[in-house]
Amino acid sequence: MRRIFSFFAGMITGGLVGAAVAILLAPVSGEDARFQIQERTMRLRDEIKAVAEARRAELERELAALRAPHRKE
């Protein structure tokens, strides 16, 4: 268990260091980089919301189908 934790801690640390180096060495200004990051974040958030809503609707349809035979009319 400790080896797995160490592996994931190393991955996270490496990712953070890599991201910091990439930002520092980026060929665009800080303002442009912030704007691009903000735009990408907003797009990602919207995509996640759309996928979550679609999945929720799918699960609600499945739940309704499972409940249908058990309903008393």
How many other C-beta atoms are found inside a 10 Å radius of the C-beta of residue 33? 14
Low-confidence ranges of the chain (pLDDT < 50): none
Q: Which helix (H) or strand (E) holds 69?
A: none
Longest dimension (CA), the chain: 68
Residues 6+ apart with CB under 8 A from 28: 36
pLDDT of residue 47: 96
Indicate whether this model's pTM tops 0.75. no
pLDDT of residue 23: 78
So where are the chain's domains?
Answer: 2-70
DSSP 30-63: HHHHHHHHHHHHHHHHHHHHHHHHHHHHHHHHHH
